[in-house]
Amino acid sequence: MKFTKSLLAVLAMGLSAGSAVADGNMASDMTLVSWGGAYQQSQINAYANPYVEMNSDVTVTWDESSAEAVAKLRAMNEAGSITWDVVDVVAADALRLCDEGLAMEIDPDEMLADAPDGTSAADDFGDLLVGDCFIPQIVYSTTFGYRTDLVPAGTEAPNDICDVFDLATYPGMRALEKRPINNVEWALLCDGVAKEDVYDVLATEEGQEQALAKLDTIKDSVIWWSAGADTPQLLADGEVFMGSTYNGRLFAAIVEQGQPIEMMWDAQVFDLDGWIIPEGLSDERLERALDFVRFATDTQRLADQAQYISYGPARQSSAPLVGKHATLGIDMAPHMPTDPNNAKNTFLYNFEFWADYRDDIDAKFQAWLAQ
Protein backbone atom coordinates (compact mmCIF):
# COMPACT_ATOMS: atom_id res chain seq x y z
CA MET A 1 0.00 0.00 0.00
CA LYS A 2 2.67 2.42 0.99
CA PHE A 3 4.60 2.11 -2.24
CA THR A 4 1.65 2.94 -4.44
CA LYS A 5 0.52 5.61 -2.02
CA SER A 6 3.75 7.51 -2.11
CA LEU A 7 3.83 7.25 -5.88
CA LEU A 8 0.36 8.68 -6.14
CA ALA A 9 1.19 11.36 -3.62
CA VAL A 10 4.07 12.49 -5.81
CA LEU A 11 1.73 12.59 -8.78
CA ALA A 12 -0.85 14.57 -6.89
CA MET A 13 1.49 17.13 -5.45
CA GLY A 14 1.44 19.21 -8.55
CA LEU A 15 -2.30 18.96 -8.87
CA SER A 16 -3.59 19.99 -5.48
CA ALA A 17 -4.63 23.58 -5.33
CA GLY A 18 -5.54 25.56 -2.28
CA SER A 19 -8.97 27.10 -2.40
CA ALA A 20 -9.62 30.72 -1.72
CA VAL A 21 -11.19 31.69 1.58
CA ALA A 22 -14.16 33.99 1.92
CA ASP A 23 -16.31 35.40 4.75
CA GLY A 24 -14.18 34.42 7.65
CA ASN A 25 -13.78 30.69 7.65
CA MET A 26 -15.57 29.32 4.64
CA ALA A 27 -14.06 28.48 1.28
CA SER A 28 -15.54 30.42 -1.62
CA ASP A 29 -15.25 27.56 -4.10
CA MET A 30 -17.25 24.41 -3.86
CA THR A 31 -17.29 21.38 -6.12
CA LEU A 32 -20.51 19.40 -6.11
CA VAL A 33 -20.66 15.98 -7.68
CA SER A 34 -23.82 14.53 -9.13
CA TRP A 35 -25.24 12.36 -11.91
CA GLY A 36 -25.73 14.88 -14.69
CA GLY A 37 -28.91 15.06 -16.75
CA ALA A 38 -32.32 16.05 -15.47
CA TYR A 39 -31.51 14.99 -11.94
CA GLN A 40 -28.52 17.28 -11.60
CA GLN A 41 -30.55 20.07 -13.19
CA SER A 42 -33.20 19.65 -10.52
CA GLN A 43 -30.48 20.02 -7.89
CA ILE A 44 -29.11 23.12 -9.56
CA ASN A 45 -32.58 24.67 -9.63
CA ALA A 46 -33.65 23.67 -6.16
CA TYR A 47 -30.41 23.86 -4.17
CA ALA A 48 -27.45 25.44 -5.87
CA ASN A 49 -29.05 28.51 -7.46
CA PRO A 50 -30.86 29.65 -4.29
CA TYR A 51 -27.72 28.99 -2.29
CA VAL A 52 -25.58 31.11 -4.58
CA GLU A 53 -28.22 33.83 -4.47
CA MET A 54 -27.84 33.94 -0.70
CA ASN A 55 -24.05 33.68 -0.83
CA SER A 56 -23.01 35.65 -3.87
CA ASP A 57 -19.30 35.14 -3.18
CA VAL A 58 -19.53 31.37 -3.68
CA THR A 59 -18.61 29.72 -6.94
CA VAL A 60 -20.15 26.30 -7.48
CA THR A 61 -18.55 23.82 -9.86
CA TRP A 62 -20.41 20.68 -10.89
CA ASP A 63 -18.82 17.37 -11.71
CA GLU A 64 -20.92 14.60 -13.27
CA SER A 65 -19.01 11.72 -11.76
CA SER A 66 -21.40 10.17 -9.27
CA ALA A 67 -21.43 6.86 -11.11
CA GLU A 68 -17.71 6.48 -10.43
CA ALA A 69 -17.69 8.41 -7.17
CA VAL A 70 -16.53 5.56 -4.96
CA ALA A 71 -13.56 4.65 -7.12
CA LYS A 72 -12.60 8.25 -7.74
CA LEU A 73 -12.81 9.23 -4.07
CA ARG A 74 -10.61 6.30 -3.21
CA ALA A 75 -8.07 7.36 -5.80
CA MET A 76 -8.17 10.95 -4.53
CA ASN A 77 -7.72 9.74 -1.00
CA GLU A 78 -4.68 7.66 -1.94
CA ALA A 79 -3.25 10.63 -3.80
CA GLY A 80 -3.86 12.78 -0.74
CA SER A 81 -5.77 15.40 -2.65
CA ILE A 82 -9.55 15.59 -2.33
CA THR A 83 -10.99 17.98 -4.89
CA TRP A 84 -14.69 17.33 -4.22
CA ASP A 85 -16.66 18.99 -1.43
CA VAL A 86 -20.09 17.41 -1.49
CA VAL A 87 -20.88 14.24 -3.39
CA ASP A 88 -24.23 12.83 -4.43
CA VAL A 89 -24.29 9.03 -4.20
CA VAL A 90 -26.80 6.23 -3.74
CA ALA A 91 -27.11 4.87 -0.23
CA ALA A 92 -25.23 1.66 -1.00
CA ASP A 93 -22.24 3.64 -2.21
CA ALA A 94 -22.45 5.89 0.84
CA LEU A 95 -22.27 2.81 3.02
CA ARG A 96 -19.17 1.63 1.22
CA LEU A 97 -17.51 5.03 1.32
CA CYS A 98 -18.21 5.05 5.05
CA ASP A 99 -16.72 1.56 5.41
CA GLU A 100 -13.65 2.64 3.51
CA GLY A 101 -13.22 5.70 5.71
CA LEU A 102 -13.67 7.95 2.67
CA ALA A 103 -16.82 9.72 3.83
CA MET A 104 -17.22 11.81 6.94
CA GLU A 105 -19.48 10.62 9.74
CA ILE A 106 -22.59 12.72 10.16
CA ASP A 107 -24.38 13.82 13.27
CA PRO A 108 -27.82 14.61 11.82
CA ASP A 109 -29.14 16.63 14.73
CA GLU A 110 -26.08 18.80 14.86
CA MET A 111 -25.36 19.20 11.16
CA LEU A 112 -28.79 19.19 9.55
CA ALA A 113 -31.68 21.60 9.91
CA ASP A 114 -34.70 20.76 12.04
CA ALA A 115 -38.13 20.52 10.43
CA PRO A 116 -40.21 23.75 10.58
CA ASP A 117 -42.34 22.27 13.36
CA GLY A 118 -39.25 21.59 15.44
CA THR A 119 -38.91 17.88 14.76
CA SER A 120 -35.24 16.97 14.91
CA ALA A 121 -33.50 16.07 11.66
CA ALA A 122 -32.83 12.52 12.87
CA ASP A 123 -36.55 11.96 13.45
CA ASP A 124 -37.56 13.75 10.28
CA PHE A 125 -35.36 11.53 8.12
CA GLY A 126 -36.10 8.53 10.28
CA ASP A 127 -35.00 5.15 8.93
CA LEU A 128 -33.60 6.69 5.78
CA LEU A 129 -30.39 7.63 7.58
CA VAL A 130 -28.55 4.55 6.33
CA GLY A 131 -25.11 4.05 7.86
CA ASP A 132 -23.18 6.79 9.62
CA CYS A 133 -22.19 9.02 6.72
CA PHE A 134 -25.25 9.34 4.52
CA ILE A 135 -27.44 12.45 4.28
CA PRO A 136 -30.60 11.33 2.45
CA GLN A 137 -32.07 13.55 -0.20
CA ILE A 138 -34.61 11.63 -2.27
CA VAL A 139 -36.40 8.33 -2.41
CA TYR A 140 -36.40 6.90 -5.90
CA SER A 141 -37.51 3.57 -7.16
CA THR A 142 -36.48 1.12 -9.80
CA THR A 143 -39.62 0.01 -11.51
CA PHE A 144 -41.08 -1.04 -14.83
CA GLY A 145 -42.49 0.87 -17.76
CA TYR A 146 -44.25 -0.76 -20.71
CA ARG A 147 -45.40 0.25 -24.19
CA THR A 148 -49.15 0.74 -24.11
CA ASP A 149 -49.44 0.09 -27.87
CA LEU A 150 -47.66 -3.25 -27.65
CA VAL A 151 -49.99 -4.79 -25.08
CA PRO A 152 -51.60 -7.74 -26.92
CA ALA A 153 -55.18 -6.99 -27.98
CA GLY A 154 -57.78 -8.27 -25.54
CA THR A 155 -55.30 -8.55 -22.69
CA GLU A 156 -55.30 -6.21 -19.77
CA ALA A 157 -52.19 -4.11 -19.28
CA PRO A 158 -49.46 -5.67 -17.11
CA ASN A 159 -49.92 -4.76 -13.47
CA ASP A 160 -48.08 -7.50 -11.63
CA ILE A 161 -44.31 -7.88 -11.34
CA CYS A 162 -44.65 -11.51 -12.47
CA ASP A 163 -45.98 -10.29 -15.82
CA VAL A 164 -42.33 -9.58 -16.57
CA PHE A 165 -41.71 -13.32 -16.47
CA ASP A 166 -44.91 -14.19 -18.35
CA LEU A 167 -43.78 -14.44 -21.96
CA ALA A 168 -46.94 -16.27 -23.03
CA THR A 169 -49.32 -13.45 -22.10
CA TYR A 170 -46.94 -10.59 -22.77
CA PRO A 171 -44.58 -11.55 -25.58
CA GLY A 172 -41.77 -9.20 -26.48
CA MET A 173 -38.38 -8.15 -25.24
CA ARG A 174 -37.69 -6.89 -21.73
CA ALA A 175 -34.98 -4.50 -20.62
CA LEU A 176 -33.33 -5.41 -17.33
CA GLU A 177 -30.27 -3.96 -15.64
CA LYS A 178 -27.04 -5.83 -16.27
CA ARG A 179 -26.46 -6.65 -12.61
CA PRO A 180 -28.12 -9.01 -10.15
CA ILE A 181 -29.46 -6.35 -7.77
CA ASN A 182 -33.27 -6.03 -8.05
CA ASN A 183 -33.49 -8.70 -10.78
CA VAL A 184 -32.84 -11.60 -8.45
CA GLU A 185 -35.31 -10.24 -5.89
CA TRP A 186 -38.03 -9.95 -8.53
CA ALA A 187 -37.21 -13.43 -9.81
CA LEU A 188 -37.62 -14.94 -6.36
CA LEU A 189 -40.84 -13.01 -5.70
CA CYS A 190 -42.25 -14.54 -8.87
CA ASP A 191 -40.95 -17.97 -8.02
CA GLY A 192 -43.09 -18.33 -4.95
CA VAL A 193 -40.80 -16.83 -2.31
CA ALA A 194 -42.55 -14.61 0.22
CA LYS A 195 -41.47 -11.00 0.29
CA GLU A 196 -40.07 -11.16 3.82
CA ASP A 197 -38.01 -14.28 3.02
CA VAL A 198 -36.35 -13.00 -0.14
CA TYR A 199 -33.01 -12.04 1.39
CA ASP A 200 -32.82 -15.12 3.59
CA VAL A 201 -33.29 -17.26 0.51
CA LEU A 202 -30.84 -15.20 -1.51
CA ALA A 203 -28.17 -15.71 1.14
CA THR A 204 -28.05 -19.41 0.25
CA GLU A 205 -26.45 -21.04 -2.78
CA GLU A 206 -29.73 -22.74 -3.64
CA GLY A 207 -31.61 -19.46 -3.43
CA GLN A 208 -29.15 -17.79 -5.78
CA GLU A 209 -29.49 -20.66 -8.22
CA GLN A 210 -33.26 -20.52 -7.92
CA ALA A 211 -33.25 -16.83 -8.82
CA LEU A 212 -30.98 -17.36 -11.81
CA ALA A 213 -33.08 -20.31 -12.95
CA LYS A 214 -36.15 -18.09 -12.92
CA LEU A 215 -34.33 -15.39 -14.86
CA ASP A 216 -33.20 -18.11 -17.26
CA THR A 217 -36.81 -18.55 -18.38
CA ILE A 218 -36.76 -15.10 -19.97
CA LYS A 219 -33.04 -14.80 -20.70
CA ASP A 220 -33.47 -14.94 -24.47
CA SER A 221 -35.98 -12.10 -24.36
CA VAL A 222 -33.87 -9.69 -22.34
CA ILE A 223 -31.78 -6.73 -23.41
CA TRP A 224 -29.45 -5.88 -20.55
CA TRP A 225 -28.95 -2.21 -19.84
CA SER A 226 -26.15 -0.51 -17.94
CA ALA A 227 -27.14 3.16 -18.10
CA GLY A 228 -30.41 4.50 -16.72
CA ALA A 229 -31.16 6.24 -20.00
CA ASP A 230 -31.12 2.98 -21.98
CA THR A 231 -34.57 1.71 -21.02
CA PRO A 232 -36.51 4.88 -21.96
CA GLN A 233 -34.69 4.85 -25.30
CA LEU A 234 -35.39 1.16 -25.87
CA LEU A 235 -39.05 1.72 -24.99
CA ALA A 236 -39.31 4.79 -27.18
CA ASP A 237 -37.80 2.92 -30.15
CA GLY A 238 -40.08 -0.05 -29.60
CA GLU A 239 -37.09 -2.31 -29.05
CA VAL A 240 -38.59 -3.70 -25.87
CA PHE A 241 -42.11 -4.21 -24.58
CA MET A 242 -41.27 -3.51 -20.99
CA GLY A 243 -38.19 -2.52 -19.07
CA SER A 244 -36.91 -1.53 -15.63
CA THR A 245 -35.29 1.79 -14.85
CA TYR A 246 -35.46 4.66 -12.37
CA ASN A 247 -38.94 6.07 -12.03
CA GLY A 248 -37.80 9.62 -12.82
CA ARG A 249 -36.50 8.51 -16.22
CA LEU A 250 -39.86 6.97 -17.07
CA PHE A 251 -41.62 10.10 -15.84
CA ALA A 252 -39.57 12.16 -18.29
CA ALA A 253 -40.37 9.79 -21.16
CA ILE A 254 -44.09 9.65 -20.37
CA VAL A 255 -44.95 13.16 -19.22
CA GLU A 256 -42.29 15.37 -20.75
CA GLN A 257 -41.84 13.52 -24.07
CA GLY A 258 -45.33 12.07 -24.38
CA GLN A 259 -44.19 8.56 -25.33
CA PRO A 260 -46.83 5.77 -25.36
CA ILE A 261 -45.44 4.35 -22.14
CA GLU A 262 -47.15 3.55 -18.87
CA MET A 263 -45.74 2.86 -15.41
CA MET A 264 -46.11 -0.51 -13.74
CA TRP A 265 -45.43 0.29 -10.11
CA ASP A 266 -45.87 -3.23 -8.74
CA ALA A 267 -42.93 -4.39 -6.62
CA GLN A 268 -41.03 -1.20 -7.24
CA VAL A 269 -37.75 -1.27 -5.32
CA PHE A 270 -37.17 1.78 -3.16
CA ASP A 271 -33.67 3.13 -2.98
CA LEU A 272 -32.16 6.31 -1.61
CA ASP A 273 -29.91 8.94 -3.01
CA GLY A 274 -28.22 11.63 -0.99
CA TRP A 275 -25.07 13.52 -0.08
CA ILE A 276 -21.85 12.54 1.55
CA ILE A 277 -18.99 14.82 2.54
CA PRO A 278 -15.57 13.36 1.78
CA GLU A 279 -13.22 12.72 4.67
CA GLY A 280 -10.14 14.92 4.74
CA LEU A 281 -11.40 18.35 3.67
CA SER A 282 -9.63 21.42 5.00
CA ASP A 283 -11.49 23.30 7.74
CA GLU A 284 -12.59 26.10 5.42
CA ARG A 285 -13.95 23.75 2.81
CA LEU A 286 -15.62 21.59 5.42
CA GLU A 287 -17.39 24.63 6.86
CA ARG A 288 -18.66 25.53 3.41
CA ALA A 289 -19.74 21.96 2.64
CA LEU A 290 -21.64 21.70 5.92
CA ASP A 291 -23.25 25.07 5.37
CA PHE A 292 -24.42 24.02 1.93
CA VAL A 293 -25.68 20.62 3.04
CA ARG A 294 -27.64 22.13 5.93
CA PHE A 295 -29.31 24.48 3.47
CA ALA A 296 -29.86 21.96 0.69
CA THR A 297 -31.46 19.31 2.85
CA ASP A 298 -33.89 21.47 4.77
CA THR A 299 -37.60 20.80 4.47
CA GLN A 300 -38.40 23.46 1.86
CA ARG A 301 -35.44 22.72 -0.41
CA LEU A 302 -36.18 19.00 -0.57
CA ALA A 303 -39.79 19.77 -1.44
CA ASP A 304 -38.61 22.27 -4.10
CA GLN A 305 -36.61 19.60 -5.89
CA ALA A 306 -39.82 17.67 -6.52
CA GLN A 307 -40.98 20.50 -8.78
CA TYR A 308 -38.41 19.41 -11.31
CA ILE A 309 -38.23 15.64 -11.03
CA SER A 310 -40.50 12.90 -9.77
CA TYR A 311 -38.44 11.68 -6.85
CA GLY A 312 -39.85 11.73 -3.35
CA PRO A 313 -38.22 14.02 -0.77
CA ALA A 314 -36.46 12.09 1.99
CA ARG A 315 -37.92 14.18 4.83
CA GLN A 316 -41.36 13.37 6.14
CA SER A 317 -41.97 17.07 6.67
CA SER A 318 -41.34 17.83 2.98
CA ALA A 319 -44.08 15.58 1.61
CA PRO A 320 -47.02 17.96 2.22
CA LEU A 321 -45.10 20.78 0.51
CA VAL A 322 -44.68 18.94 -2.81
CA GLY A 323 -46.42 21.07 -5.44
CA LYS A 324 -46.70 21.26 -9.19
CA HIS A 325 -44.12 20.68 -11.89
CA ALA A 326 -42.20 23.92 -12.49
CA THR A 327 -42.80 24.08 -16.25
CA LEU A 328 -45.57 21.60 -17.04
CA GLY A 329 -47.77 22.72 -14.17
CA ILE A 330 -49.03 19.22 -13.41
CA ASP A 331 -49.46 17.91 -9.90
CA MET A 332 -46.31 16.03 -8.92
CA ALA A 333 -47.66 14.01 -6.01
CA PRO A 334 -49.31 11.24 -8.13
CA HIS A 335 -45.99 10.68 -9.92
CA MET A 336 -44.00 10.14 -6.75
CA PRO A 337 -42.95 6.56 -6.01
CA THR A 338 -44.11 7.16 -2.45
CA ASP A 339 -47.67 8.13 -3.47
CA PRO A 340 -50.09 5.66 -1.82
CA ASN A 341 -51.54 4.64 -5.19
CA ASN A 342 -48.12 3.73 -6.52
CA ALA A 343 -46.77 2.24 -3.32
CA LYS A 344 -49.31 -0.55 -2.86
CA ASN A 345 -46.64 -3.18 -3.22
CA THR A 346 -43.10 -2.03 -2.65
CA PHE A 347 -39.79 -3.56 -1.87
CA LEU A 348 -36.97 -2.00 0.11
CA TYR A 349 -33.44 -2.48 -1.14
CA ASN A 350 -31.43 -4.24 1.56
CA PHE A 351 -28.18 -2.30 1.86
CA GLU A 352 -26.49 -4.53 4.38
CA PHE A 353 -27.24 -7.65 2.39
CA TRP A 354 -25.89 -6.27 -0.84
CA ALA A 355 -22.80 -4.84 0.81
CA ASP A 356 -21.90 -8.44 1.65
CA TYR A 357 -23.23 -10.36 -1.31
CA ARG A 358 -22.75 -7.94 -4.17
CA ASP A 359 -19.50 -9.39 -5.49
CA ASP A 360 -20.38 -13.00 -4.83
CA ILE A 361 -23.76 -12.88 -6.57
CA ASP A 362 -22.45 -10.62 -9.29
CA ALA A 363 -19.78 -13.17 -10.17
CA LYS A 364 -22.44 -15.86 -10.48
CA PHE A 365 -24.73 -13.54 -12.40
CA GLN A 366 -22.03 -12.60 -14.90
CA ALA A 367 -21.01 -16.23 -15.33
CA TRP A 368 -24.66 -17.05 -15.95
CA LEU A 369 -24.95 -14.21 -18.48
CA ALA A 370 -21.87 -15.43 -20.32
CA GLN A 371 -23.23 -18.99 -20.66
Partner 1 sequence: MSDTTASGPMLAADGRPLKESLRRALRRQKLRALALIAPLLLFVLLTFVIPILSMLVRSVENDIVATTLPGTVPALTEWDSSQGDIPPEDVYRNLFFDMFNAAEAKEHTKLGTRLNYENTGLASLFRTSGRSMDDIGEIFQDAIEDIDARFEDGAFWYEMMNGTGGGALVAERRTRWTELTDDDMNGDIGFTPSQAVVDLLPTTAAAYTDFAIWTVIDAEDVVAEEDPWEAVYAALAIDLRDPARAAAIASYAGPGADALQALTAAGLPEQSFTDAFIELDEDWGDADVWQTVALYSPTYTPGYFLNSVDRELTINGVAARPDNEQIYIKLFMRTLWMSLIITSSCILLGYPVAWLLANLPVRSANVLMILVLLPFWTSLLVRTSAWKVLLQQQGVINEILVWLGFVDDANRLILMNNSTGTIIAMTHILLPFMILPLYSVMKTIQPTYLRAAKSLGATNWTAFWRVYFPQSIPGIGAGSILVFILSIGYYITPEIVGGTDGVFISNRIAYNISRSLNWGLAAALGTILLVLVMALYWLYDRIVGIDNVKLGG
Instruction: Report the interface residues with partner 1, using CB under 8 A.
Output: 1-5, 7-8, 11, 67-68, 70-71, 74, 96, 98-101, 173, 178, 209, 223-224, 226, 237-239, 352, 355-360, 362-364, 366-370
Closer by beta carbon to partner 1, 238 or else 320: 238
Rounded to whole angstroms, the Cα distance separating 216 from 121 reads 45
Q: How far is the CB of 138 from partner 1 (least distance, A)?
A: 22
Q: Give residue 318's identity as a one-letter amino acid code.
A: S
**What are the DSSP calls for 158-182, one per residue?**
P-SGGGGG-TTTS-S-EEEESSSTT
Closer by beta carbon to partner 1, 85 or else 279: 279
Closer by beta carbon to partner 1, 45 or else 233: 233
Q: For residue 75, what are the β-bridge partners?
A: none
Closer by beta carbon to partner 1, 150 or else 255: 150
Q: How far is the CB of 365 from partner 1 (least distance, A)?
A: 10
Q: How far is the CB of 95 from partner 1 (least distance, A)?
A: 9
Closer by beta carbon to partner 1, 44 or else 67: 67
DSSP helix/strand/coil, 341: coil
Q: How far is the CB of 304 from partner 1 (least distance, A)?
A: 31
From the list 283, 336, 286, 292, the residue with the least C-alpha distance to 314 is 336
How many alpha carbons fall within 13 Å on the CB side of residue 272? 26
Contact 259, 236 (CB under 8 A): yes
Closer by beta carbon to partner 1, 156 or else 237: 237
Q: How far is the CB of 300 from partner 1 (least distance, A)?
A: 34
Contact partners, residue 199, CB within 8 Å, separation at least 6: 350, 353
Q: How far is the CB of 308 from partner 1 (least distance, A)?
A: 26
Contact 102, 94 (CB under 8 A): no
Rounded to whole angstroms, the Cα distance separating 209 from 184 reads 10
The packing angle between helices 91-99 and 351-370, to 10°, is 110
Q: How far is the CB of 8 from partner 1 (least distance, A)?
A: 7
Q: How far is the CB of 354 from partner 1 (least distance, A)?
A: 10
H/E segment holding residue 137 = strand 135-147
Closer by beta carbon to partner 1, 167 or else 321: 167
From the list 190, 211, 137, 182, the residue with the least C-alpha distance to 353 is 182
Closer by beta carbon to partner 1, 1 or else 17: 1
How many alpha carbons fall within 13 Å on the CB side of residue 25? 7
How many alpha carbons fall within 13 Å on the CB side of residue 45? 17
